[in-house]
Structure 1
Amino acid sequence: MAKQAMTLIGGGPVGALLARLLAMRGFAVQVFEKRADPRRVTGFSRGRTINLAIAERGLQALRVAELAEHALQRSVMMRGRMVHPLHGASGLQRYGVDDSEVIWSISRNGLNTLLLDAAEAAGAKFHFGQMLAAADIDAQRITLADETGMMREHDAGVLIGADGAGSALRASMNLHRPLGIRVEPLGHGYKELEIPPSAGAYPFAIEPHALHIWPRGRHMCIATPNISGSFNVTLFLPTHGPHPSFDTAPDAAAAAALFQQEFPDLLPRMPRFAEDYDGHPVGKLSTLYLDRWHIDGRALLVGDAAHAIAPFHGQGMNCGFEDTLALADLLANSHRDTADAFAQFQHLRKPNADAIAAMTLENYVEMRDSVADPHYVAKLELGARLTRWAPQHFMSRYRMVTFTQLPYAYAYERGRAQDQLLERLLRDAPNPAAVSMDTAVSALRATLSPLSLPCLGAGPMGAERAARPHPMLPLPTRTLESTAGLA
């Protein structure tokens, strides 16, 4: 029997990983990508530079694709958030309980290159510089345009769109049958900057094993490390409105004045600040919701094409990778009934996509404001104590999202219930050290059932991986700064 044909639109990280997983399962996979092949272009443009954060969900998909260790070799471990207040000392807020619970910073281009090579090795065929111009969903044929505008047609078979938030396939599907598209702008944008490597043997200008945050209320900067020693810096501001906003910082001169006032320790580390600020556009941030992700068994959307979110929880790629694993398994077991597989995929994944969208918006407020708030820090400390005293009943929502494969929807609802309990406990004793653990644990067990833990992502790469040094990045000799009670 001939292999079932799958045509993917989009060869970014999600599309390339899905291509590999489908090819490994015996499908005939062709991928059309509008950009040039990033592995072949001399002087490749950095494009979007917000680094991707690999967490447990993404790691699990990479393990199944037999690529996890290769990806980690291109990554920098991040233990937590290094918070830089405007006044006072910086401090680390750990993501997990120890170094078995970390996330990994990797460049988008580095990961994409790895996945493209792996997908081709599995048998997938890629066609670069091919933009989707139109899709005839009934006939399952697509029209493609190259850089010169020359058109050609292709018999697509089953169509899968992994072409991101601006998906061309989504637009064609919506013309064929309305998908119930809703886009909610965040009202904030971003600008990409860079801290270059330092001269000398140790290239990192700031602590490498952390995601750095400069929280300032309605705006913030973040910095993520690269294995080269550089840091990708991203400024987040309201798009419009009074100072500070991109309206009031339209160019590098105005932005430099803002940085001197709000981020004085950051500006001197960016010698190309003016060039980067004036040379990079303001990126838009929004959340995408669809009522329908597929048209029968003929066309389906995955990843950002179906449920684009802002980058504030580091879960956009991880959610998309989790999509690929679920979809590849469903299609492999579908006996060519793609309509049933696509319906099951939407039923399984849409509630979780909606949940991570909600948590991402909440995490933005947390990152730009709450991380510097004493009450928020008190809740973190009390939560850490409850984790030690009652690990089967309490796990922070961030840990559920980042270090397990528990469904996003479960983590969302469980996190809300746990937060209500923490608020109640701290209402009577604002100092977390003064909260009686016996009372707190009794209240926890009376309020919430034990956690549904069978999907925990310890895995063979968990503690063993964290216990050894990163294969490509020497650990710093100095000690990480830490926030009391959070490590």
Structure 2
Amino acid sequence: MMSQLRDTERKHRVAVIGGGLVGSLNAIFFARNGYSVAVYESRSDMRQEEQIAGRSINLALSERGRKALRTVGLEDEVVNKFGIPMHGRMLHSHSGQTTIVPYGKPNEFLLSVDRRKLNELLLSKAEQEDDIVLEFKHKLLKVDLTDCQMVFSSPDGEIHDMADLVVGCDGAYSTVRKSFMRSIRFNFSQTYILHGYKELLMPAGDDGNYAMEKNYLHIWPRQTFMMIALPNLDSTFTCTMFMPYDIFGTIKTQDDVLAFFEREFPDAISLFGRDRLLETYMVNPVGPLISIKCSPYHVEGRAVIMGDAAHAMVPFYGQGMNAGFEDCTILHELIHKHGGNLDAALAEYTETRNKDTAAICDLAMYNYVEMRSLVASRWFRIKKKIDNFLNWLMPQTFTPLYTMVTFTSIPYEMAYRRWQWQDKMIYRGLWCAAVTALVVPIAVIAYNWTEDHPWKARALKYFVTKSLHR
């Protein structure tokens, strides 16, 4: 249970900028900790819209995100209403052959969750809290972090407001983050990768059921690009192509689309349906993929940035939302730890969280290489089996990287360091095994050769000694 931290004459007022996933969940955390919360969202209320602009890439909910939802009592509702279990990756070859690569143990799975449905649920739950006010069509124009004075544009004109704490959950192009650059010594970097993404929809089959096996993340790995598919509750799949912009640039006509899919994803054409494929491909845009790192995440006890505003990452580890939700968990644990002292809590938040989110940003970049090419290699599957065997043999000592990131709450940076150490041990072990397999037969031959001839033994010993000292 979450308890109220403050018992003062005036509840401290928190302004959450951004009503997306992290912003709406954050508002619930703050309200239940005794703060008065206003959520300012630049867009209209998505619950009133038939379609919404922006990304709609499906989400892969894992333990870090589930823990945050569990803390505010929403895990069961999300899992039961919106979650579709995915037990592993199903790889599709050029020939249409499929190979299953489990994520880990039988009880370890991801949940495919619809981004919009989850966001709508969190907004509705936030709206039910007595201490939360939702303000839509309020776009932050600027904020003065010396006194937390904010200026918004709204349908009623320019609005001025203030708060005790400004929480920036306003995405990769955060206005709150920009204000940090004018207020403190602030480090910032952003990287657009050479790949973009295009979303497609795979309809249900003629019988109304899923066109492919439901409980897997489907991947068509093609070395320099890939396509993935995640299941939806209505028996469709949300498919996303990740490719270099220069390849997207070569596909200009419907004939180009068909030729490309016949060459690279021939088994998918019948699953989409020729007309649906052409329609969605030609209409849907190519979106950019960005990775952002910055530091610090706070300005004294007056402002903090979280989620994509602090650490936008490419989506290939499925940790964007999960890391943002974990931000909420960690921040509020620190607020409890410091008895509501925001100066101390936010300082420790930056100190502990920054290194972890930098690590997952790097791992997300690495995982794209794994997903688009390595998963299709025989060595990758052998390595996966070695990882799982060692985890079974020494569960307290050896845990695969994917398991640490996805199915535990081990800090990302610690998981990164453990993975490097474990891989080093595996490669050393394989090298020693290879050397042993080579040396033992040679030693036996050498022993047999020198057994009845002492002068041969002395010559062999002399040769080996000289070779080792060169």
TM-score, length basis structure 2: 0.86
Q: What corresponds to 2:245 in structure 1?
A: 239
Task: Provide, for residues 111-158 of structure 1, a one-character-per-residue CA deviation record: whole Å limited to 9, x for no partner.
Answer: 10111111122232111111111111113111111257x211111221
Contact 1:20–1:120 under 8 Å retained in 2 = no
Pair 1:141 & 2:149 matched: yes
Pair 1:184 & 2:191 matched: yes
Task: Please state whether the residue corresponding to 1:290 is helix, strand or coil.
Answer: strand
Q: Which has the higher mean CA deviation after the structures are superposed, 267-276 or 88-97?
A: 267-276
Q: Which has the higher mean CA deviation after the structures are superposed, 417-426 or 204-213?
A: 417-426
Q: What corresponds to 2:105 in structure 1?
A: 97
Contact 1:18–1:328 under 8 Å retained in 2 = no
Which structure 1 residue ranges, 4+ long, deviate > 3 Å from structure 2? 250-253, 332-336, 424-430
Contact 2:95–2:267 under 8 Å retained in 1 = no
Q: What corresponds to 2:48 in structure 1?
A: 40
Compute the displacement of 1:175 (Å): 2.7
Task: Provide, for residues 8-32 of structure 1, a one-character-per-residue CA deviation record: whole Å limited to 9, x for no partner.
Answer: 0001111111111111111111100
Give the counterpart of 2:282 among 268, 278, 282.
278
Q: What corresponds to 1:269 in structure 2?
A: 271
Which AA in structure 2 matches 1:283? Answer: G
Q: Which structure dedicates a bigger proportion of its chain to helix?
A: 2
Compute the displacement of 1:198 (Å): 2.2
Q: Which has the higher mean CA deviation after the structures are superposed, 370-379 or 84-93?
A: 84-93
Q: Which has the higher mean CA deviation after the structures are superposed, 167-176 or 151-160?
A: 167-176
Separation in structure 2 between the aligned mates of residue 146 and residue 291 of structure 1, nearest angstrom: 31
Give the counterpart of 2:181 among 152, 174, 187.
174
Separation in structure 2 between the aligned mates of residue 91 and residue 237 of structure 1, nearest angstrom: 22
Separation in structure 1 between the aligned mates of residue 202 and residue 431 of structure 2, nearest angstrom: 42
Give the counterpart of 2:261 among 259, 264, 284.
259
Q: What corresponds to 1:157 in structure 2?
A: 164
Contact 1:75–1:105 under 8 Å retained in 2 = yes
Task: Provide, for residues 256-280 of structure 1, a one-character-per-residue CA deviation record: whole Å limited to 9, x for no partner.
Answer: 3211110111122224222322222
Separation in structure 2 between the aligned mates of residue 85 and residue 5 of structure 1, nearest angstrom: 55
Pair 1:217 & 2:219 matched: no
Give the counterpart of 2:210 among 204, 212, 217.
204
Q: What corresponds to 1:7 in structure 2?
A: 15
Q: Please, what is the CA RMSD of the aligned residues?
A: 1.7
Q: What corresponds to 1:331 in structure 2?
A: 335
Q: What corresponds to 1:468 in structure 2?
A: none
The 1:253/1:10 distance shift into structure 2, 3 A limit, reads farther
Structure 1 residues 264-413: aligned runs within 5 Å: 264-271=266-273, 272-413=276-417
Separation in structure 1 between the aligned mates of residue 257 and residue 297 of structure 2, nearest angstrom: 40
Compute the displacement of 1:88 (Å): 6.2
Compute the displacement of 1:427 (Å): 4.4
Structure 1 residues 450-461: aligned runs within 5 Å: none
Separation in structure 2 between the aligned mates of residue 163 and residue 45 of structure 1, nearest angstrom: 16
Compute the displacement of 1:53 (Å): 0.9
Separation in structure 1 between the aligned mates of residue 35 and residue 187 of structure 2, nearest angstrom: 30
Task: Please state whether the residue corresponding to 1:105 is helix, strand or coil.
Answer: strand
Task: Please state whether the residue corresponding to 1:300 is helix, strand or coil.
Answer: strand
Task: Provide, for residues 76-99 of structure 1, a one-character-per-residue CA deviation record: whole Å limited to 9, x for no partner.
Answer: 00001111121362111111211x
The 1:188/1:11 distance shift into structure 2, 3 A limit, reads same
Q: What corresponds to 2:90 in structure 1?
A: 82
Separation in structure 1 between the aligned mates of residue 272 and residue 135 of structure 2, nearest angstrom: 38
Separation in structure 2 between the aligned mates of residue 267 and residue 49 of structure 1, nearest angstrom: 22
The 1:278/1:172 distance shift into structure 2, 3 A limit, reads farther
Task: Provide, for residues 210-261 of structure 1, a one-character-per-residue CA deviation record: whole Å limited to 9, x for no partner.
Answer: 1000000010000001111111100011123xxxx12222455423321111
Separation in structure 1 between the aligned mates of residue 90 and residue 298 of structure 2, nearest angstrom: 41
Contact 1:4–1:336 under 8 Å retained in 2 = no
Separation in structure 2 between the aligned mates of residue 169 and residue 415 of structure 1, nearest angstrom: 34
Which AA in structure 1 matches 2:169? Answer: A
Give the counterpart of 1:119 among 98, 107, 126.
126
Q: What corresponds to 2:4 in structure 1?
A: none
Separation in structure 1 between the aligned mates of residue 137 and residue 146 of structure 2, nearest angstrom: 25
Contact 2:167–2:303 under 8 Å retained in 1 = yes
Which AA in structure 1 matches 2:92? Answer: H
The 1:428/1:263 distance shift into structure 2, 3 A limit, reads farther
Task: Please state whether the residue corresponding to 2:234 is helix, strand or coil.
Answer: coil
User: Sequence identity of aligned pairs in percent?
Assistant: 37
Compute the displacement of 1:176 (Å): 3.0
Q: What corresponds to 2:440 in structure 1?
A: none
Task: Provide, for residues 59-87 of structure 1, a one-character-per-residue CA deviation record: whole Å limited to 9, x for no partner.
Answer: 11110010001111211000011111213
The 1:138/1:368 distance shift into structure 2, 3 A limit, reads same
Q: What corresponds to 2:24 in structure 1?
A: 16
